[in-house]
Amino acid sequence: MNYPSKLIEDAVVEISKLPSIGKKTAMRLVLHLLKQDPDVSIALAESLVNLRTKIRYCTECHHISDRAICSICEDDKRNQHTICVVEDTPDVIAIENTLQYNGLYHVLGGLIAPLDGISPSDLNIQTLIKRVSQGNVKEIIFALSATMESDTTAFYITKKLQDFDVKISTIARGIPVGSELEYTDEITLGRSILARVKYQ
Amino acid sequence: MNYPSKLIEDAVVEISKLPSIGKKTAMRLVLHLLKQDPDVSIALAESLVNLRTKIRYCTECHHISDRAICSICEDDKRNQHTICVVEDTPDVIAIENTLQYNGLYHVLGGLIAPLDGISPSDLNIQTLIKRVSQGNVKEIIFALSATMESDTTAFYITKKLQDFDVKISTIARGIPVGSELEYTDEITLGRSILARVKYQ
């Protein structure tokens, strides 16, 4: 693509580094910003710099936080005996949006993936074990995606926690609400039969 | 949506002001940036601020430029007698990418639209008339979208230029390359018959 200005080229290149945004979309966004008041671009730029330079992570659960301890860990009204283990921050947000869970979280910051060079020491597993070892935790719930890496990670953590008196569970796999039986893949359908629950 | 941090909320709000980016996509971009090196966000922010504060427009044709006169107007090898009149900057880029046009441009910066409060004085029409009045221009080509506003604008400019010895043309309307006759709308098909050209 021919760029009429070096400034435009720079902006297009930077914007198109974002996931799912190509050069054409980036160009469209650039031309949009050029039509707006300069304050719009400046506010956007400032929010991005602040986001990346001022953000902090909760020292307890590793969730994103404005302070040393996040609002979830700080909340006395939440169940302090249950920890939901998730892969990353978006998972906490997704579970919070369900309004069905009232315990604490622990963000691993990834999954064990030897092929990608991610070993247990790269994840927040040691801090999870420390939290459990303090004796206040009664249940660990794995809320991980249904992948090989998730299974490996859950298995590794379970092994590490076997000496503690803590119940370990995982979120239910089954047929999503609203989806049709005949189009469900066999593994999910098979698991949902094996893991059937009492009716009413 | 619940945001774990005010910094995230600010960034999501600013990003979702961009066209075709909603809050969910903005959140995904924010979480992506958080996983990257801080330099990525800072470079993006700087490119946006530079884009909006340092950009200049060519004093001749009003196209985006790094200098007072843009690289197209400055190029001696281009046909100095033909001016292609377009609505906005992206149109110049689109026509340049065809590699079929070797003249100059004039960016109107919009179209006459009384309902939206855009009158001829809001557009770069006076400077176009001045360029034509200097006597060097032999042809004006309207390369505008096929809309009511475009027709109004082209008609207004033609009236203004009637005292000058300048040929006025408009880009061909017809059936796009690769599209099928039976699915073409009647107006386009009708026009393409009226504006038929000699075969070979």
Same domain membership, residue B28 and residue B102:
no
Mean pLDDT of the region A2-22: 90
A137 and B CB contact within 8 Å: no
Looking at residue B73, what is its pLDDT?
93
Mean pLDDT of the region A128-150: 92
> Is position A142 within any domain?
yes
Mean pLDDT of chain A: 90
Same domain membership, residue A106 and residue A151:
yes
Looking at residue B112, what is its pLDDT?
94
Residues 80-119 of A with CB under 8 A from B: 88-90, 92-93, 96-97
List C-alpha distances in Å: A195 to A157, A177, A191: 22, 16, 6
Six-digit token string for B15: 């990003």
> Is position A93 within any domain?
yes
Same domain membership, residue B166 and residue B82:
yes
- Binned at pLDDT 50, 70 and 90, residue A22 comes out as very high
Residues of chain B found within 8 Å of residue A93, distances taken between Cβ atoms = 1-4, 27
Same domain membership, residue A162 and residue A123:
yes
CATH number at residue B15: 1.10.8.420
A139 contacts A95 by C-beta, under 8 angstroms = no
> Is position B64 within any domain?
no
Six-digit token string for B176: 């796009």
Same domain membership, residue A46 and residue A88:
no
Q: Tell me whether residues B44 and A48 touch, CB distance under 8 A.
A: yes
B84 contacts B101 by C-beta, under 8 angstroms = yes
Closest-CA residue to B72 (of B46, B29, B104): B104
Rounded to two decimals, what is the model's pTM?
A: 0.70
- pLDDT tens, A41-56? 999 999 999 988 888 8
Looking at residue A146, what is its pLDDT?
85
Same domain membership, residue A99 and residue A49:
no
Positions of chain B with pLDDT lower than 70, given as ranges: 1, 200
Same domain membership, residue B148 and residue B99:
yes
- pLDDT tens, A76-97? 999 999 999 999 888 898 888 8
> Where is pLDDT greater, at A188 or B164?
B164
Strands B82-86 and B64-65, sheet pairing: unpaired
Looking at residue A194, what is its pLDDT?
81
Looking at residue A200, what is its pLDDT?
64
Percent of chain A at pLDDT > 90 equals 57
A68 and B CB contact within 8 Å: no
Backbone angles phi, psi at B137, to 5 degrees: -90, 130
B28 and A CB contact within 8 Å: yes
A173 contacts A191 by C-beta, under 8 angstroms = yes
Looking at residue B200, what is its pLDDT?
64
**How far is the C-alpha of B73 from the C-alpha of A187, rounded, in Å?**
65
Same domain membership, residue B48 and residue B111:
no
Residue A9 has pLDDT above 80, yes or no: yes
Q: Which domain holds residue A131?
A: 78-170
> Is position A141 within any domain?
yes
> Is position A59 within any domain?
no
ipTM over 0.85: no
**How far is the C-alpha of B93 from the C-alpha of A25, rounded, in Å?**
14
> Is position B16 within any domain?
yes
Same domain membership, residue B142 and residue B95:
yes
Same domain membership, residue A110 and residue A30:
no
Q: Which residues pair with A107 in a beta bridge?
A: A86
Considering its fold, how many domains does chain A have in total?
2
Same domain membership, residue A32 and residue A116:
no
> Is position A191 within any domain?
no
Q: Tell me whether residues A7 and B45 touch, CB distance under 8 A.
A: no
> Is position B33 within any domain?
yes
CATH number at residue B164: 3.40.1360.10
Same domain membership, residue B46 and residue B102:
no
A53 and B CB contact within 8 Å: yes
List C-alpha distances in Å: A2 to A29, B99, B105: 16, 11, 15
Q: Tell me whether residues A18 and B29 touch, CB distance under 8 A.
A: yes
